[in-house]
Structure 1
Amino acid sequence: MAEYSLRLRRERFSSSRFAEQPKAFKAIHGTSHQLQSPPTIQRAIVAGEPKSTQKPWPTYATRRRYLPAVIYVAISTLFFFILGRFVDIDAWILRYALPSPPTHSALSTRRALDIKMASEGATIVETWTSPSLTPYATPNTLLDGSHSALWCFTGATGRIGLLLSAPSIPSHISISTHNILSFPSRPLSLVAPTAPRDIIVWGYVDGASMRKKLARIQAFPQPSAILGSTRELFVPIARGEYDGRIWAPNNQKLPVDPVIVDSSIPFGLILLEIRSNWGGLSTCLDNIQITAGVAR
């Protein structure tokens, strides 16, 4: 019994037990609860230091891990932003997720109509068209479909007259312009100042018989002499605003009034009137297309 109590007394814990150990023992086991690698222990033994020489992890290192991701997102956004000005692509970073205007049922269910581009084979009516800003680009570039050049006129208001290849019942009018190329001196602007804004499309009332047909149709807009001559009467068939903001698509469509489509009255002459732009000294376009049902 005495030997057992003596053995317990010898194995009792003493607070000064580690003070008598060599420095190498302290370096290996450590005085703190920090795990140490073998190279760190070896350096501590050689230097005779009781603590680890391993530097703590910098606080800003975790933030640097997100820097490549931020750079990648910025470059991708800029790439698709610039690409969207030349290619008509749908991306949420370039434009609003707006639904396209529905196709009117009058054209989709009418068997006697052949849907095609009425602007193919069309010509420019020079007397109805505003003068060109420069002699290098003529209004004929609006009908070739190449989108290779801009046609501009001075000021914010102007007109473009179109003689279609055959009388047609239009369904919508497509208007396009290059917003970035039209003002290279202001690449960071949120709007394209030379893009058209308020647009009205007129149909020419050809002859007295056509006037009688229009008079029989209720809720049909009354003809007006927009060119100053009572012999040349027009009816508004479409009206809308071209979105000149830089994230908007280049090619935008103006739907024709359903009353015009339901009337089934073809138009052979179209006048596109631009009443305002987005603040530029001139107005520029690069393409005009008229989708219509041509009576057989």
Structure 2
Amino acid sequence: MTRTVVVGLDGSPESLAAADWAAREARLRSLPLRLVHVEEAESHHRRFLSAMDAEAREGWRRMPDDAAAGLVGRHPGLEVGVERLAGRPAEVLVEAAADAGLLVLGSHGRGALAGFLVGSVALSAVARTRCPLVLVRAGAGEGEGESGPYRDVVLGLDLGRPAGELLEFAFDAAALRGAPLRVVHGWDPPPVYGINPVALGPNPVDDLAAEKARALEAALRPWRERHPQVEVGEQAVIGRPAHHLLDAAGEASLVVVGRHVRRTPLGFHVGPVTHALMHHSPAPVAVVPYR
């Protein structure tokens, strides 16, 4: 089956921004684009549609086709398909992207019309999808790569789990854009350093920082060799990873983080770094599942 870029479309500014971002990404990757419009079966959604006048309801039904036509006009040569599905949006979108190369969603929706990309649904999709998922805010990345060079791709890397899927995605994203890759590893000194640092030597934090920098360089070395065209900068910095990644996101074209695929007794897990980026990153955020 031909891989595609799938985008969830609900008519909100965020989902339309996601569709435009997904169209640019599909062209970079030479993949078709699928617009997936999900109609919920819940009664509140049916009441919302019935409250519209006939003209507004027809515009709502026509919205996916209008969006597709606009994307084809702005991105000549792009193959765009529209699919209308029904059900629980997060479940439908995850299933629609089962064989996709990428799933793209608006990071937030607003009001009744925005519907299925609000909060818990986007979070559910991030936690369950089997392919990389990108969350896009309205206005993010507009015109990037068309009127000027791409900004950095930023990768948040946990040295405890330097997953190949995550590194491959980030290096590929940077290579496709002709952009530098900035790799950030945030770490905290063990609590014992604050209890009796003298017992550990004159410069225990400096020694540990040097060790972290060497470990980061070693983790990246084989990927640099596979992607010699990608300019790589690396930072092993003290402090919470989310803080450093959000700081870097202000000047990034894409922020890439990983999600360890596991299920807890309370359900699928999304870590605190991903949570923070979902809610606060001004740049698109790619969440890459790995085992």
Q: What TM-score results when the alignment is normalised by the length of structure 2?
A: 0.24
More helix by share: 2
Max Rg structure: 1
Q: What TM-score results when the alignment is normalised by the length of structure 1?
A: 0.23
Higher relative contact order (CA 8 A, sep 6+): 1
